[in-house]
Structure 1
Amino acid sequence: MKSRFLIGLSALALLVLIAVQYVIITETYRTKKEQFDTRFGNLVKEGMSKFNSMDYNFDFDSVLFLLDDKAVAFMFSEPDSLSQTPGEIFHEILNQYRDPEYFLRDYISKAGVDPKFTYHLQVDELYLVDINFRQQVYPNGIQLPRAPASALLAGNFTHERNFFNISYGIYIDFVNRSKLILREMWLILVLDLCTLILVFTVFILTLRNMLRQKRLSEMKSDFINNMTHELKTPLSTISVASSSLGNRTIIESPERVEELSGLIKRQNKHLSELIDRILDINIWEKDQVKLKPEHLMLENWTRQLVKGFLLEQGKEAPEILLDIHLINETHMLDEVHMATVLNNLFSNAVRYGNTPCKIKLEVKDRDQCLWISVTDNGPGIKKEDLKHLFEKFYRGAEAKQRVVRGLGLGLYYVKQIVEAHGGNISVQSKPGEGTTFHIKIPTDDGPVTC
């Protein structure tokens, strides 16, 4: 519960940090945008003012004369005969006059700014003027092109001529506005991004460590419970057998005494082995396992090992099918440790397998490697258990559900021994289809690892 609360609190703090960073960035962007609009708005107005202060512009004067002619033509034309409204014609003619745009591009470029902008002319009012009346033709239910909301006003202009009055504005819209603003904000953005990445990384690492510690704690607790059970069983058996030896009836029966003595001896040996395994936990690491490799007549050694395992199992002995194909008769292996590997795999097959238990052992040498496979007909292993199978103290859900005795060390030992030989071990399993362990160990003349 405490760890969940801490994880939830950390996640909430991370979300708050992200929200704060977002607010800071958006507010900074808004401020920079206002500064940009103020700076460049003043710049384009200055440029437009300089353009207007230039000497008399004959080109624009000819445009105004053309508009006068158009105004006269409109006043003497039937509205239905016009393909375009007066407002559309006036906007089109004025928009074709681009001297202000060219001047502003040159002026802004000289100010040291990349002049990437679009030029917009927006008509605000248009009147046609006759001797007897003044007729408004825009706005009058007609929609002419409008400048974008983000465009900056360069200047407003009004022209009162003989046959028309017009008011319009010239606008400049910088297409690279966001790029220029973000370029000014790059340091803030980089620092915020690095902060978020750092905090998120710390959060993930802390979360992973907490989950790992929690799982390790659960595994150790499970290990202690199983260890207690494993130790109590032989102790209880020894206690009962010792008490029975005090029974006069049993004392008078040499066969019963011998049977109970043998039972005490076996349980004592089992207890001693359990204690040794517990004490040896810290030395069972790949770089600490001390191997004593020797030349083994592998086929004969394997058959003797299987025979011994079957005798030890007694009535519960499984059926073991051998498939041995060896090119080389001898291989350099640590006899004791490799016996532990196979015995552990056989024992797991018996513990978790179906009844009757069937095991297939394949031993081959090819590609300069020794290949050993152990396959059982058990219920298989769930996918979520496979990735933890060789971890110290780990016992899968199947073992817990079926209350199978064990310390969660067998497969951990197997992996350490195989890797100490320079090999590797993998597992294939699907629920309901059994399990196969594959071991590859380099031969004498083979590579360092397989």
Structure 2
Amino acid sequence: MAKGENGKYDDLLLSIRMKEHNFKNHIAALFALSYTTKSYDELVFAQREYYGKIKEENKYVKLLYLGDSIVAGYLYEKFCDVERKNGHVEYDIRGQFSTSEVPDYHLIEMLGILIDNSVEAQDERPQLKFFFEERDNTLIFKILNPYPYIKYEEMNTWFDLEHSSKGAKHGLGLYYVKQICQKYRANIICRNVECQGKNWIEMNLEIEKANR
């Protein structure tokens, strides 16, 4: 698995390096707008629009801050997959991923299940929010997607084997995530959160750093 994920990380690096190669051209183009626009307001609008396009093209640079090539490469591939479905990804990285009590291959499995469930819960143009935060002794991953309000008691059943085996969209995935969490003293919490005037489902995965 590591070889495959490192390959995805190499794709991320190559994409960023290619964009960096064109950075000087983009700067020149921004300055050149002053010669092709007729007013200050038109110039400001054109520069903001151009900057927005550059920012969009380079939005995954922050994945490099994660510090783990396997996890970063995997997330890059998953995010690109959402975009291939005409979806939208918003993410943030706060801190660095250090060695955890959960082996990398299990973490990849859990993140994959949580992201896939979030995307599959939406009919079209999936929206995904992903946040990583490093704290003193823990590493926190949050995956969110828009979904109707669900009672807490019903959410808990999503992680049950009996519930999963009845053909629910979540399948056996969340049950498997729960088993890994129990084995490695990790924690998975599901809750409703309000975002952009809509209800979203947040999956909060908290794992311990290694060698506490």
Q: Compute the TM-score of the two structures, normalised by the length of structure 1.
A: 0.28
Match of 2:200 among 406, 411, 434: 434
Task: Write the letter of the residue equivalent to 1:429.
Answer: N
Q: CA deviation at 1:355?
A: 3.4
* Cα distance change of structure 1 residues 382 and 396 upon mapping to structure 2, 3 Å threshold: farther
Looking at structure 2, the residues matched to 420 and 317 of structure 1 have their Cα atoms a distance apart, in angstroms, of 36
User: SS at 1:381's partner residue?
Assistant: coil
**In the alignment, which residue of structure 1 is the partner of 2:179?**
416
* Cα distance change of structure 1 residues 323 and 340 upon mapping to structure 2, 3 Å threshold: same
Per-residue displacement from partner, 1:391-429 (whole Å, max 9, x unpaired)? 1141499x86xxx5x6x2110111112232221111112
* Cα distance change of structure 1 residues 317 and 338 upon mapping to structure 2, 3 Å threshold: farther
Per-residue displacement from partner, 1:303-332 (whole Å, max 9, x unpaired)? 311222245567326322221111x55323
User: SS at 2:161's partner residue?
Assistant: coil
1:328-347 matched pairs, under 5 angstroms: 328-332=96-100, 333-347=102-116
Match of 1:348 among 117, 121, 124: 117
Contact 1:389 1:396 survives alignment (8 Å): no
Q: Is structure 2 residue 138 aligned with structure 1 residue 372?
A: no
Looking at structure 1, the residues matched to 68 and 131 of structure 2 have their Cα atoms a distance apart, in angstroms, of 11
Q: CA deviation at 1:300?
A: 3.6
**In the alignment, which residue of structure 1 is the partner of 2:18?**
none
- Kindly, what percent of the aligned residue pairs are identical? 20
User: SS at 2:181's partner residue?
Assistant: helix
* Cα distance change of structure 1 residues 393 and 371 upon mapping to structure 2, 3 Å threshold: same
Looking at structure 2, the residues matched to 322 and 302 of structure 1 have their Cα atoms a distance apart, in angstroms, of 14
Looking at structure 1, the residues matched to 78 and 123 of structure 2 have their Cα atoms a distance apart, in angstroms, of 18
Match of 1:359 among 113, 125, 128: 128
* Cα distance change of structure 1 residues 329 and 428 upon mapping to structure 2, 3 Å threshold: closer
User: SS at 1:415's partner residue?
Assistant: helix
Contact 1:325 1:363 survives alignment (8 Å): yes
Looking at structure 1, the residues matched to 153 and 202 of structure 2 have their Cα atoms a distance apart, in angstroms, of 16
Looking at structure 2, the residues matched to 329 and 430 of structure 1 have their Cα atoms a distance apart, in angstroms, of 25
1:26-425 matched pairs, under 5 angstroms: 298-312=67-81, 315-316=84-85, 318-326=87-95, 328-332=96-100, 333-353=102-122, 355-395=124-164, 404=169, 408-425=171-188
Contact 1:298 1:329 survives alignment (8 Å): yes
Looking at structure 2, the residues matched to 314 and 323 of structure 1 have their Cα atoms a distance apart, in angstroms, of 17
**In the alignment, which residue of structure 1 is the partner of 2:58?**
none
Looking at structure 2, the residues matched to 355 and 335 of structure 1 have their Cα atoms a distance apart, in angstroms, of 31
Per-residue displacement from partner, 1:195-240 (whole Å, max 9, x unpaired)? xxxxxxxxxxxxxxxxxxxxxxxxxxxxxxxxxxxxxxxxxxxxxx
Gaps of 5+ in 2: 1-65
Q: CA deviation at 1:299?
A: 4.7
Contact 1:321 1:359 survives alignment (8 Å): yes
**In the alignment, which residue of structure 1 is the partner of 2:34?**
none
Q: CA deviation at 1:350?
A: 1.1
Contact 1:322 1:361 survives alignment (8 Å): yes
Count matched residues.
143
Looking at structure 2, the residues matched to 445 and 344 of structure 1 have their Cα atoms a distance apart, in angstroms, of 26
Task: Write the letter of the residue equivalent to 1:436.
Answer: E
Q: CA deviation at 1:345?
A: 0.7
Q: CA deviation at 1:386?
A: 1.5
**In the alignment, which residue of structure 1 is the partner of 2:48?**
none
Considering Cα pairs closer than 8 Å and 6+ residues apart, tell me whether 1 or 2 has the greater RCO: 2
Q: CA deviation at 1:375?
A: 1.1
Q: Compute the TM-score of the two structures, normalised by the length of structure 2.
A: 0.56
Contact 2:165 2:172 survives alignment (8 Å): no
Q: CA deviation at 1:434?
A: 1.3
**In the alignment, which residue of structure 1 is the partner of 2:47?**
none
**In the alignment, which residue of structure 2 is the partner of 1:171?**
none
* Cα distance change of structure 1 residues 322 and 299 upon mapping to structure 2, 3 Å threshold: farther
**In the alignment, which residue of structure 2 is the partner of 1:75?**
none
Task: Write the letter of the residue equivalent to 1:443.
Answer: K
Contact 1:427 1:437 survives alignment (8 Å): yes
Task: Write the letter of the residue equivalent to 1:410.
Answer: G
Task: Write the letter of the residue equivalent to 1:331.
Answer: T
